[in-house]
Structure formats: structure tokens, C-alpha cells
């Protein structure tokens, strides 16, 4: 890159060239008469001094030729116009324009602008051509939009990047054949494979920040089939300043393929609900509970009361929120939702107004063999927390439920369906508003399949998949918790809100993608074993029962399921019997009563 002094020397030499060139042009490209030539030479020092002075004043020499832009061109124009005007005035004052043709001044200005701008543009084109013809890594950019344009520009400016941009790929047929900064748009995204082989592509850069999960999956699969490395720009909501730079490029993550489009939420209504309120979160150290704590803390509550059995998890989330939101009061309480005395004490002492009941056991195969613990924690715990909410006149209690509560095939699902029925019963008889929010799996939650696959891949395999046809619903923890808060605003009591989970994801596909992301080849470098359905598992999950007619709400991703009627007296008596059976550790009786209260369920043996 040229230094400042060489630039000043170059610009200084351009001044006499433009000055004498103006005279030569004035006399029809013929010999300049001696009297005019002598006067031109005599005035040259004045012309040179004034122009150099204005070059410095306007900072013409500070512009980097390698990155000449419209800003640099405007600086040159201003400097030359002002300098030429001052030169003309000075020469008029000294000579009265004797032997100085008036036309020389505009011609001189034009020639000087041409010389200064022309040399800079030629230099930049030369350097850009060097980059394009370099022997760097051959790269395709997917996305011939604004982000792709900015990314290409930034790559060319970054001399540390050894990239040779071969072409663009874009699904917009109008763009095919066009050029962006001299780089041609070659074809559609479906042509990545053939083009990668034909052009010997070594890297694909995905510059589509607004790409949907489906679009990302298509591009990534094309790259994987062609055995070409790929990287991507962050999602549009994560590019804070609106620019796309090479330093933003990152590996494609699982969330890019399984995630969903961002949803518009009414943060003002959520803030109005939470602000200056006491919020209690059970299971506050778990995946959902801890994220709820983070989201609630953003909305300015009076106090967050976290109830959690796991000491370390409680300490960790409490410390995190205290550091990020020092103005929020966080109370960290070790406690078991099945401990009636402890829950009553916590509610009596802190008087929470809003309760998010996220505490639950959720590992289906393990819980299938431990029915007493499953029902005690998930169902009886919900009974105890809801009773305390009623006794202390809490405003709202939100139960976090699961798609496994719909036509449950497991005791975990039965226990969560009973929990839904508990809050429905309580809502009929009390002033506290009880709301249920039901959704499927969240990416990366503790005990979910994603961390399990990660551990198996790190260990070198095999990765265990239940069945090739198994599917599950997924959403990010952050999105799930934001929608829970929004559903809490929407509900007035008794509702079952079902989060729109989009399309279910094939677990076999998920496993293979995670193996590829690790840099390994499925079934060649990392084996995949199919284990078959375990007790309580289903191939596919459902989000609502056939008798729960769905209705839309004001928010696209939140649906309202009509609650099914319940036999209040039978349910109330059954819950009393379940708690009694749990206290006596009569797991067979627990199973019998629980499944009888949820007639659409079916159980299996080997329970205790």
C-alpha cells in the first residue's frame, strides 16, 4: 500500500502535467507560443504550492489507493475545484491574466482531476486483478445479494485472506449471468456439486443471512455431497450493524439447519406483565428454567425466586443473572417441589405473583421403570405448587408441559398429562389463572438427544439411533421460553397453548448431520447403530389430541388447544389416592390409578 509521502510526490507531479497539458490543449495540441509558455512556467510554482496546500488540507494524500472509493473521489474533486479557483484568483491578481488564457483554468482542473482519479482507479483495478488471479483457495459465494456483495468487497480488502473468488451462486434466475464487482453469477444453488467439481472449488461461503432452515439444509447437503468445506455468515438478526464481513464467517451449526424463522413478539406486553412483579421459577437450574430466568430478568421483575434441587445448577444460573442483571434481585433456594412444607414456606415468605412451573423429570426410558418417582415428581409436585399458589393468591401459574402428554405411550407422558389436568381442575375452582404451555424438544437441553450424539461422536462412535423413521419436534430453548412468556400474556386461565414447532425432524438425519459437522463420514468413520424402540417411546410425537380443536392466536407460533372436559370429582379423588400410594411406595397402585385417569394412555410392565 502506498505511503503518504509517495502519494504527495505523485500528486505534486500531476499538477505541472495538468497545467502544461491545459496550455497544450488550448493551442490545439501544437507548439505553445513562447510568451505563453514562459508565463506558464513562471506561474507554475504558484499553481503547485496552492494545490499541494489544498491536497493536505482536504487530506487527499490520506486515502488508501488500494481501497479507493467514492469518498476519496469526492475529496479529490473538492480539493481540485477549490485549489483551481484560488490559483485563478491569485494569477489574476498578479498578472491581470496577461499571456494567460482564461480557458486554461477549467482545462487544468479537468486534467488534474483526471490524473489524480485515473491513477488511483488503475492502481485499484491492478491490485484487484492480482487478487482474482492469485493462487489462493478457490471459493464460491452462495447469495448474490447485498450480503454477498459486502462479503466479496471485504475479502478483497483483507490481504490476509488467501481466497480466489471464482463466482457467485444464487437461485434468483434474473441474476444469472450478471457480474458483481467483476465476478459472474454462475448458476442456481442446485448446481453447487457440478460447479465445485468443474471449477475445483475448495470452499463455499454462504452469504444468505436471511436463509430459512430449509434453504440452509439444501445448500449444506449440496456441499456435503460434493465434499466441499463450507462456512456461513450469521443470521440476519445476529448481524447487529447490518454489515457482512469475512471475520463474521463461522461454521454452520445445528441450529442453522433445525432452527426456525425469528418470530415477532410483543415485548412491551411481556414487560408490562413481568415488570416489578415477583416471579417464581421451579426447576430454575434446568434447561428451560434457567433460560426463563434469563428472559424474565430482561423485563425488570421485582424479584426472581429460583427453586431447584441441584445445588451447582442453582448456583450457576444465579451467579450468571446477578452478573448480567445486577439490578434484579435473585433469590436462590434449594428445594424439592414434592416437599409440601418447603414449598408452603417459600410461598408464604416470598409471596410470588407469577409462577413458572418447569420442574419435571423427563427422560422417558429411565422414567418408564420408575413410575413412583415419575408421578410423584411430575404430578404430585404440580399439585403441591399449585396449592401453594392458590393459598397465597398468586396471579398466574404457568405449567410447562410436553408433546409426550398427548396420547402418552410412556409413564412420563402420563404424569405430564395428569399435571395438565391438575392445573385445569384448579383453574375451574380458584381465582389464580392456571395456564398450560405445551411443546416438543428443545435443542441442546440436558438429557436430550443432541448432547448424547455429541458425546458419542467425541468417543468415536457408535451413534445410537432408535429407528430410521423416528422423528421429533425441535425448537431453540430461547425461542421456547420467549413464546412461554408471550403465552402467559395471552392467557386468562384454563388455556392450553401449543407452540407451533414447525416440521418434525428425522433423528437419523440429525445424527448424520452432527457426524458430518464433526468432520467425519457417517457409517465410514463413525458407525450408526439402530437400537429399536425402547419402552414408552413413540416413532412420532403429537402436539395435540384429536379432541383438542386448535385455534389461531395473534401470534403465528402460538396455537390454542381447546381443553377436554374432565370429571372433577373422579380426578380429585384419584390425585389423593396417587399421593397416598406414592407415600406408601406402592408403585403398582400408582401406575394403575394414573393410567386409569388418562384413558388414552397405555403402560407397560417392569415398573416399580
**142 by DSSP, 3-state: which?**
strand
Per-residue DSSP letters for 558-607? EEEEPPPP--HHHHHHHHHHHHHHHHTT-HHHHHHHHHHHSTT----SS-
Q: Taking the chain (608 residues) in consecutive chunks of 10 residues, what is each chunk's mean pLDDT?
A: 66 85 85 85 88 82 62 82 88 85 88 82 66 67 86 78 85 84 85 86 85 79 84 63 63 66 74 93 93 92 95 94 92 95 96 95 88 95 96 94 88 93 89 89 70 86 88 80 88 85 81 80 87 78 71 80 84 93 92 90 49
The pLDDT, as a whole number, for residue 240 is: 43
DSSP state of 242: S
Q: Do domains 134-252 and 267-597 have the same CATH topology?
A: yes
Cell of 139: 471459493
The pLDDT, as a whole number, for residue 605 is: 39
Dist. CA 516–CA 521, nearest whole Å = 6
Q: In 3D, which of 378, 388, 284 has the Cα closest to residue 344?
A: 388
Dist. CA 495–CA 488, nearest whole Å = 10
CB contact at 8 A, 598 and 418: yes
Distances (CA, A) of 257 to 55, 217, 253, 502: 53, 5, 7, 13
Q: Report pTM.
A: 0.65
- For residue 342, count CB atoms less than 10 angstroms from its CB and return exposed for 0-12, middle for 13-18, buried for 19 or more: middle
CB contact at 8 A, 387 and 589: no
Cell of 505: 425432524
Please compute Rg for the chain using Cα positions. 35
Is the peptide bond prior to 462 cis by the omega test (within 30 degrees of 0)? yes
The pLDDT, as a whole number, for residue 419 is: 95
User: What are the extents of the domains in the chain?
Assistant: 4-129, 134-252, 267-597
Dist. CA 428–CA 249, nearest whole Å = 53
The pLDDT, as a whole number, for residue 64 is: 58
The pLDDT, as a whole number, for residue 608 is: 44
CB contact at 8 A, 15 and 52: yes
Dist. CA 554–CA 556, nearest whole Å = 7
| β-bridge pairing 203-206 and 137-142 | parallel
Nearest 5 degrees, angle CA 137-CA 251-CA 465?
125
Distances (CA, A) of 334 to 122, 281, 353, 373: 71, 12, 20, 19
Dist. CA 16–CA 95, nearest whole Å = 19
Q: In 3D, which of 596, 594, 595, 591 has the Cα closest to residue 606?
A: 591
How many CB atoms are closer than 10 A to CB 217? 17
Q: What's the CATH fold of domain 134-252? A: Rossmann fold (3.40.50)
DSSP state of 75: H
| Bridge partner list, 163 | 137
User: Under CATH, domain 267-597 is a member of which superfamily?
Assistant: NAD(P)-binding Rossmann-like Domain (3.40.50.720)
- For residue 236, count CB atoms less than 10 angstroms from its CB and return exposed for 0-12, middle for 13-18, buried for 19 or more: middle
Nearest 5 degrees, angle CA 533-CA 538-CA 542?
165
Amino acid at each position: 500500500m502506498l505511503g503518504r509521502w509517495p502519494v504527495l510526490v505523485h500528486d505534486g507531479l500531476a499538477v505541472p502535467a495538468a497545467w502544461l497539458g491545459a496550455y497544450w490543449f488550448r493551442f490545439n495540441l501544437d507548439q505553445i507560443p513562447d510568451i505563453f509558455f514562459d508565463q506558464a512556467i513562471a506561474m507554475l510554482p504558484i499553481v503547485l504550492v496552492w494545490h499541494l496546500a489544498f491536497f493536505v488540507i482536504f487530506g487527499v494524500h490520506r486515502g488508501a489507493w488500494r481501497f479507493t472509493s467514492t469518498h476519496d473521489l469526492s475529496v479529490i474533486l473538492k480539493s481540485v475545484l477549490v485549489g483551481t479557483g484560488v490559483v485563478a484568483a491569485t494569477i489574476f491578481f498578479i498578472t491581470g491574466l496577461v499571456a494567460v488564457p482564461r480557458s486554461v483554468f477549467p482545462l487544468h482542473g479537468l486534467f488534474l482531476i483526471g490524473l489524480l482519479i485515473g491513477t488511483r482507479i488503475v492502481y485499484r483495478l491492478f491490485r484487484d486483478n492480482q487478487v482474482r488471479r492469485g493462487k489462493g483457495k478457490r471459493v464460491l459465494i452462495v447469495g448474490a445479494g447485498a450480503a454477498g456483495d459486502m462479503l466479496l468487497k471485504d475479502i478483497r480488502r483483507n490481504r490476509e485472506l488467501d481466497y480466489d473468488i471464482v463466482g457467485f451462486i444464487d437461485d434468483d434466475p434474473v441474476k444469472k449471468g450478471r457480474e458483481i464487482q467483476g465476478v459472474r453469477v454462475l448458476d442456481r444453488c442446485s448446481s453447487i456439486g457440478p460447479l465445485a467439481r468443474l471449477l475445483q472449488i475448495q470452499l463455499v461461503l454462504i452469504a444468505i443471512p436471511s436463509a430459512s432452515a430449509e434453504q440452509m439444509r439444501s445448500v449444506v447437503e449440496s456441499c456435503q455431497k460434493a465434499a466441499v468445506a463450507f462456512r456461513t455468515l450469521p443470521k440476519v438478526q445476529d448481524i447487529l450493524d447490518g454489515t457482512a464481513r469475512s471475520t463474521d464467517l463461522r461454521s454452520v451449526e445445528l441450529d442453522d439447519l433445525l432452527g426456525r424463522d425469528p418470530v415477532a413478539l410483543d415485548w412491551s406486553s411481556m414487560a408490562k406483565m413481568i415488570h416489578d412483579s415477583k416471579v417464581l421459577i421451579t426447576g430454575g437450574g434446568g434447561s428451560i428454567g434457567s433460560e426463563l430466568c434469563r428472559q424474565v430478568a430482561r423485563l425488570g421483575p421485582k424479584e426472581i425466586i429460583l427453586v431447584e434441587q441441584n445445588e451447582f445448577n442453582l448456583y450457576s444460573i444465579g451467579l450468571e443473572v446477578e452478573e448480567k442483571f445486577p439490578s434484579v434481585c435473585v433469590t436462590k433456594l434449594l428445594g424439592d417441589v414434592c416437599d409440601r412444607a418447603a414449598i408452603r414456606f417459600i410461598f408464604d415468605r416470598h409471596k410470588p405473583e407469577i409462577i413458572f412451573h418447569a420442574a419435571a423429570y423427563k427422560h422417558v426410558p429411565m422414567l418408564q421403570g420408575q413410575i413412583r418417582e415419575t408421578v410423584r415428581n411430575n404430578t404430585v409436585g404440580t399439585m403441591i405448587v399449585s396449592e401453594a399458589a392458590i393459598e397465597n393468591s398468586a396471579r398466574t401459574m404457568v405449567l410447562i408441559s410436553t408433546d409426550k402428554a398427548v396420547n402418552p405411550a410412556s409413564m412420563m407422558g402420563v404424569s405430564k398429562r395428569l399435571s395438565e389436568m391438575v392445573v385445569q381442575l384448579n383453574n375451574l375452582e380458584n381465582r389464580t389463572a392456571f395456564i398450560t404451555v405445551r411443546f416438543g424438544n428443545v435443542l441442546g437441553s440436558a438429557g436430550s438427544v443432541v448432547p448424547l450424539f455429541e458425546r458419542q461422536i467425541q468417543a468415536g462412535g457408535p451413534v445410537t439411533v432408535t429407528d430410521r423413521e423416528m422423528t421429533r419436534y425441535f425448537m431453540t430453548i430461547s425461542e421456547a421460553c420467549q413464546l412461554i412468556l408471550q403465552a402467559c400474556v395471552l392467557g386468562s386461565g384454563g388455556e392450553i397453548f401449543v407452540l407451533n414447532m414447525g416440521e418434525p425432524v428425522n433423528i437419523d438425519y440429525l445424527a448424520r448431520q452432527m457426524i458430518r459437522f464433526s468432520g467425519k463420514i457417517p457409517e465410514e468413520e463413525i458407525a450408526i447403530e439402530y437400537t429399536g424402540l425402547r419402552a414408552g417411546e413413540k416413532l412420532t410425537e403429537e402436539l395435540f389430541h384429536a379432541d383438542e380443536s386448535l385455534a389461531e392466536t395473534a401470534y403465528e407460533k402460538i396455537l390454542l388447544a381447546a381443553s377436554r372436559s374432565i370429571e372433577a370429582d373422579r380426578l380429585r379423588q384419584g390425585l389423593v389416592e396417587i399421593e397416598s400410594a406414592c407415600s406408601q411406595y406402592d408403585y403398582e397402585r400408582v401406575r394403575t390409578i394414573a393410567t386409569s385417569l388418562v384413558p388414552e394412555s397405555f403402560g407397560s410392565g417392569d415398573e416399580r
